[in-house]
Amino acid sequence: MGRHGIALPAVFALLTVLCLGLSGGCGRRQKPADEPPQEQARHFTLQHLAGPVRVELSGEVAHAAPDRSGATVRQPSLSLANDEETIEISGGQDGSAEVKMGGSGSVEQVVLKGDIAVVQRDRASGKIVTEARCRRLTYEEARRLLTMEGNPVIRWGRGVFSGDRILYYWTEKKVMIEGNVNAVFSAGPHTAP
């Protein structure tokens, strides 16, 4: 864990303490009794191991759902890693993410919105394998699927691909492009799968 790393149980404990400690006084507007309390943390990291895959979500501010089924994150950064490669996803300064949690506290889905940048690297060499940009990215843990929407563009090997939607099954190294597909290939050595 990094400088601001907090394990999942600690995140929710911290969020609960913050919520209880800040719920009254300090000139804050009192919430109506029927409005659920909002839990918040600043500068946090959530790590989850899903078999051979490590999922790490960090951000500046997180608001947890009262039932702990999810959270909203500002300025999100999502990292996916296995033994062979890492994928770093950034939501930018104005970015946000909606996180859906499973019953065991595991990350099921992350939806990032903003100026999304994706960089996939080979772990052994550090070499960039794939780069992508989009306005909305959905990561589904069960299928290890990244769905890019909002003017998605992906640079993979000698090609640059765009369409209405790009689906990237990252552990299978399979890309599917849907709607208004455009592909541009450049001459030169093959540099990616």
Range scoring the smallest mean pLDDT among 15-24, 128-137, 148-157? 15-24
Short-list 148, 138, 183, CA closest to 162: 183
Distance between CA atoms of residues 101 and 60, nearest Å: 19
Q: Does residue 33 carry a pLDDT above 80?
A: no
pTM of the model: 0.72
Task: Specify if 31 maps to a domain.
Answer: no
The most distant pair of C-alpha atoms in the chain lies apart, rounded to whole Å, by: 65
Task: Specify if 187 maps to a domain.
Answer: no
Distance between CA atoms of residues 118 and 153, nearest Å: 10
Task: Specify if 169 maps to a domain.
Answer: no
Task: Specify if 189 maps to a domain.
Answer: no
Domain region containing 12: 8-21+39-143
When divided into structural domains, the chain yields a total of: 1
Task: Specify if 106 maps to a domain.
Answer: yes
Task: Specify if 86 maps to a domain.
Answer: yes
Task: Specify if 166 maps to a domain.
Answer: no
Rounded-to-10 torsion of CA 150, 177, 129, 84: 110
Task: Specify if 164 maps to a domain.
Answer: no
